[in-house]
């Protein structure tokens, strides 16, 4: 159980690290300083981590990467929309 708790806390920290950028992007509708290739690669990588977590049935991987995919994906959506 402690190992799972460490994983959940780590997943929360890394997933929620995107939240300030998401909020700023939605408020300003500005993505000029964000790298499109980086967010494409990041979002795809997070998707693969999510698939990996699902295959392993690893709750911290699933939750953390699902939240990160949502946040990273929303930034990517803004980047593509507000070009």
Residues 56-72 have pLDDT tens digits of 999 999 999 999 999 99
Does an H or E element contain 1, and which?
none
Tokens coding 37: 């290739």
Model pTM score: 0.87
Closest CA to 11 of 69, 52, 57, 61: 61
* In the chain, where the domains are located: 2-81
State pLDDT tens for residues 6-41. Answer: 988 999 999 999 899 999 999 998 998 899 999 999
CB 75 within 8 A of CB 31: yes
Q: How far apart are CA 39 and CA 37, in angstroms?
A: 6
Note every long-range contact of 46-52, with CB atoms under 8 Å and residues 24 or more positions apart, other chains counting: 46/72
Average pLDDT taken over every residue of the chain: 92
Q: Which fold has domain 2-81?
A: Monooxygenase (1.20.1280)
């Amino acid at each position: 159980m402690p190992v799972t708790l460490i994983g959940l806390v780590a997943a929360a920290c890394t997933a929620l690290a995107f939240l300030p950028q998401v909020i700023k992007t939605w408020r300003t509708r500005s993505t000029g300083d964000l790298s499109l290739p980086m967010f494409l690669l990041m979002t795809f990588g997070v998707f693969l981590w999510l698939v990996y977590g699902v295959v392993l049935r690893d709750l911290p991987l699933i939750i953390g990467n699902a939240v990160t995919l949502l946040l990273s994906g929303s930034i990517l959506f803004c980047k593509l929309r507000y070009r």
